[in-house]
Amino acid sequence: MKIVLHEMRKIWNLKSVVMLALLCGLFYAVFLSSYVNNYPNGHPNAENVALSTALTIRYGPTLEPEELEEYVAETRPGLIAAADQFIAESSNLAEMGIRDYASLRESVMELSYDTSDEAIAGQLAILREFYGLAESGESMEEGACMPLLQYEIAALDDLVSMYEFVLDPSRLLEYSQNWSTEYRTRFEEKISTDEFRGILPEHTLSTTRQYAQGLVMLVILATLLCFSPLLATDRMRKVHLLQYTSKQGRGVIGKQITAVLISSIILTTALLVVFSMIFATNGTQVFWNNYVSSFNSLFGTTIRITFGQYICVLALMMYLIGAALSTFVFILSRFSANYINLIAGLIPVFIASAILSDNLFRAPLNDFRFGMALFEPFVCITALMIGFGAAICIVWKERRIDVA
């Protein structure tokens, strides 16, 4: 164990830690910060997330029909009244015969968007001005203004219609009749349980996936840059020959792979802790106990799982990818006679692992790929087994090869 610790000290030196901090800072600034700072991003995502958050806090992870009815009865009239008041204050809209929210919706739905007709172009200009959207694409001002009220009402109405849709098994089954057998079976399971009553906005799920997709790239980069010089440096300086003459002998290489694997777990844990804490500042953890396959996200996941469990699966996949990659880096480092050989090998390894991880983290547990419900974790485990097996072979062969 003492030697393993010494090998780990070689990996976790001050330079590595500073480099890692710099890498994390730059990576966060360029690729990850937008998922935290700009969440929820745009309309009506912001309203959907706010509504789902309010429902979760009030009613818990699942929503019963009477609870939704109660919530709508409490909030919708207030929103409509505010919108009606807003509309009543507009003299331009009155000229168009629009006096309340209902007539506004009707006018918007019926209006043909033929701007070559001057009368229609004039009406469109009035509506555009009313909604606060200048033609130049100026952004809306936050606060109590009509566009936001409309988004809030639309978010509530959409939620109600989606909920009514999932509560009707015949419509759901009709919807799923052209799907694969696995998908249909899973869909029937969701209908027969309370899974579809879960509350989880699609935007929250996609933002979390995209953040995880970015984070796994950071795990890959950090693993490659931190662990790769370990064996290459020893070999370049011919320290390994000295190590082999020690009491430990050629068993040192076994200790080195152990040190690399332990360091990989430490590195992934550190990155996960830091970046999960940062991500949690956007408030997504309120949905921790909610099902991923909610009425907001019909496709959901291939297994019955909550949002918290889903995040744990993503974290586990990152551990597996990190550990698998560290074994490949170990092998690469073992065969690199100098740093340039090492770098030339690291670039293709990075590209290959980035493409694989990007694919695996795009929508994990979302589809029955090759008929498997847990395809993505299976690929990660397979990658680790291959890497670990190859590393063991190297360690075993190292004991017998002629180093002179």
Partner 1 sequence: MRLVRTEIKKIIASYAILGFVALSLVFNALLITTNGKDRYADYVAGVSETIGIELGYDFSKTLMGLPQSEYRERLFNETSELKNVFADYFVGEIAKTYISTLNLSGKAAEDMRAKYADLQNIVAEKAEDGDSLSLYFAGSTYSQHKKLFGFVMPTLCVEGIIITLLSLLFTLGYENINRTEQLVYTSKVGRFIVLKKYVAAAIIGFLAYILLMALTFALYFTANDYSGVWDSNVSSGFNAIRDIAIGFRPFATWHNFTVLSYLLATVGLSFGLVFCFSFVGFITGTSIRNSYIAFLAIFFAGALFLALPMLLPSDSYARFGFMLTPIWLLLKQPLWFTDGGIDVLWRNFETWGVCLSFAALAVLAVAASIKFTKRDIV
23 binds partner 1 (CB under 8 A): yes
Of the pair 85, 338, the CB lying nearest partner 1 is at: 338
Q: Is the peptide bond before 40 cis (omega within 30 degrees of 0)?
A: yes
| Segment lying near partner 1 (by CB under 8 A), choices 155-163, 229-237, 294-302, 366-374 | 229-237
- The count of chain residues that interact with partner 1, using the rule CB under 8 A, is 25
Q: Which two tokens stand for residue 72?
A: 């709508």
Q: Write the interaction track for partner 1 spanning residues 123-162; mark x where CB under 8 A is met and - where it is not.
A: -------------xxx------------------------
Site pattern 26..55 for partner 1 (x: CB under 8 A): xx-xx-------------------------
**Sequence letter at residue 87:** I
Q: Tell me if 236 contacts partner 1 by CB under 8 A.
A: yes
φ and ψ of 306, to 5 deg: -90, 170
Q: For residue 393, state whether it binds partner 1 (rule: CB under 8 A).
A: no
Q: Are 212 and 361 in contact (CB under 8 A)?
A: yes
Q: Which is nearer to partner 1, 55 or 230 (CB)?
A: 230
Q: Which of 254, 300, 322, 345 binds partner 1 (CB under 8 A)?
A: 345
Rounded to 10°, the helix 101-110/65-88 angle is 90
Give the residue among 304, 308, 326 at the shortest CA–CA distance from 374.
304
| Residues in CB range of 295: below 8 A, 6 or more apart | 63, 159, 162, 163, 165, 166, 196, 197, 198, 199
Looking at the Cβ atoms of 38 and 185, the one nearer to partner 1 is: 38
Residue of 340, 401, 403, 404 that binds partner 1 (CB under 8 A): 340
CB of 137 to partner 1, least distance (A): 5
Interior/surface letters 161-190, b for 16+ CB within 10 angstroms, e for the rest: ebbeebeeeeebeeebeeeeeeeeebbeeb
Q: For the CB of residue 341, give the shortest distance to partner 1 in the complex, in Å.
A: 4
Q: Which residues bind partner 1 (CB under 8 A)?
A: 19, 22-23, 26-27, 29-30, 136-138, 225, 229, 232, 236, 338-345, 347-348, 351
